[in-house]
Amino acid sequence: MSADSSRQRYTLSGLSFAVIRPVMGLIDIPLRALQRVGGQTGMAAFFILPNMAVFTIFVLVPFVINFVYSMTGGIEIFLNQRDFVGAYQYKEIFSCADYLEPATCKQDGFWTAAQNTAMFVVLQVALLIAVSLITAVILNREIIGRSFWRAVFFFPVLLSPVVVGLIWRWILQRDGLLNAILFELFGADQFNWLVDRTAAFAATIGVSIWAHMGFYTLILLAGLQAIPKDLYEAAEMDGTPRSRVFWRITMPLLMPNLLVVLVLALIRAVQVFDEVFVLTGGGPGTSTMYIVQYIYEMGFASELRNPGLAAAASILMGAVLIVLTLLQMAAARRNEKKGAN
């Protein structure tokens, strides 16, 4: 087969050609004029403008409004009816004898939620990446039913977080599926997984990993498949042990994907709310109440809601997210430089 015949040829039918050509001609005139006036930079700005407008309206403006909210007090909902109180809400949050001991803080709920979130982020992200990586490495091999297994691991990603929470609640509650299985197999007594503090905390981590790992596995799988096969063939010919191949070839070449996974997983973990809210409601006590639930409680659920405090808490959470993102960007840049050298 010649190169020419293997290439698919796309042609416009007569009607399409008759319509598209004049339209393209019309668009072409202002674009050329714009390029003459603004040059290449002006053209770039012109094309990025719609995106920036959407970003401004739906991200930047709400962020600024939220910041202004955090400087107001009272119980009114609308900004123009609220009193300006300066940094009062932030002072309330930071009014603490010992930040590691929430009971000594005026807003003990905030610090409890912040500590819970920090612990959740560290454990969930570390475990999530480890599990996703192991799964991706296994699914990258020539195993029987590989496509089926990929679908199985990706399936929970398609579920609504509320559905995830409900499914696992039915499994873990006192008279749930897990206790029934344990009773059938071992005659075990009913254990209240969602009332025990440690078990409930572990459950939120486990369920969150189960629900999201498919997405990260997919990213890592794409990275693994992009690694040239000849590197592995060369290592095999040299008789390099598998563990050394993994640490010296796979991991360095997978690092850009791992960084993406790390950034996304961190941001998502800090924002954890929906499936946990359905699963544990933040309990037992406040042991699985994370920062977004605290903000929700303050701003929307409690009697005499406190929008100012909720806004201040969300600004602090946003600040943490920005710092995390900047750190990850710096790490990515360093990694790129290393790769270039």
Partner 1 sequence: MNSKTILAAAGLALLTTTTALAGDVRIMWYSDGVEGEVLKDLLSRFSEENPGINVIVDEVAYSVIKEQLPVQLAGGNGPDIARVTDIKNLAEYWLDLTPYLSDPETWKKNYGAQADWMRVDGSDAITGFMTQITLTGGFANKTLFEQAGVELPGNDATWAEWVEASSKVAESQQLPFAFAIDRSGHRIAGPAISYGAKFIGEDGMPNPVDDGMKAFIADFVKWNEDGSHAKDVWVSAAGTTYRPATDDFINAQTAFYYSGSWQVANLDTKIDGAFDWVATGSPCGPEACTGMPGGAAVVAIKDTKNPEEVAKVMEYLASTPVAKEFAERTLFLPANKEVIAGGLDFDTDSQAVKDVLNTFVAATETTAPEAQALPAWKWAGPYYSALVSRVSQVIAGELTLEDAYARIDSDMADKVKQAQ
Q: Which residues bind partner 1 (CB under 8 A)?
A: 73-78, 81, 103, 106, 108-109, 173-175, 190, 192, 194-195, 197, 280-289, 293, 297, 300-304, 306
Closer Cβ to partner 1, 173 or 328, answer by number? 173
What is the sign, positive or negative, of the torsion defined by CA atoms of 231, 232, 238, 241?
positive
Q: How far is the CB of 273 from partner 1 (least distance, A)?
A: 12
Quote the CA–CA distance of 50 and 260 in Å, as a whole number: 26
Alpha helices by DSSP H, the chain: 3-6, 14-55, 61-69, 88-93, 108-139, 146-158, 161-172, 177-186, 197-226, 229-238, 242-245, 251-270, 274-279, 291-296, 307-340
Is residue 206 classed exposed, middle or buried when 0-12, 13-18 and 19+ CB atoms within 10 A define those classes?
middle
Question: Least distance to partner 1 from the beta carbon of 113, Å?
Answer: 9
Measured CA to CA, the distance from residue 216 to residue 223 in angstroms comes to 11
At its nearest, how many Å lie between partner 1 and the CB of residue 307? Answer: 10
Question: Whole-angstrom Cα distance, residue 303 to residue 228?
Answer: 60
User: Nearest distance from residue 93's CB to partner 1, in Å?
Assistant: 13
User: Rounded to an integer, what distance in angstroms lies between the CA atom of residue 254 and that of residue 260?
Assistant: 10
Rounded to a whole number of angstroms, the minimum distance from the CB of residue 41 to partner 1 is 40
Nearer to partner 1, 203 or 218 (CB): 203
Tokens of 26: 């019309």
Half-sphere exposure of 35 (CA within 13 A, CB side): 7
Supply the minimum distance, in Å, between the C-beta of residue 275 and partner 1: 15
Of residues 237 and 304, the one with the C-beta less far from partner 1: 304
**Cα 79 from chain centroid (whole Å):** 30
Q: Which is nearer to partner 1, 223 or 282 (CB)?
A: 282
In the complex with partner 1, the residue whose CB is nearer, 91 or 174, is 174
Instruction: Indicate the residue type of 3.
Output: A
Calculate helix-pair angle for 146-158, 108-139, nearest 10 degrees: 160
Min dist. Cβ of residue 170 to partner 1 (A): 12
119 vs 143, beta carbon nearer partner 1: 119
Helices (H), 140-246: 146-158, 161-172, 177-186, 197-226, 229-238, 242-245
Residue among 56 and 104 whose Cβ is closer to partner 1:
104
Q: Which is nearer to partner 1, 256 or 283 (CB)?
A: 283
CB of 116 to partner 1, least distance (A): 10
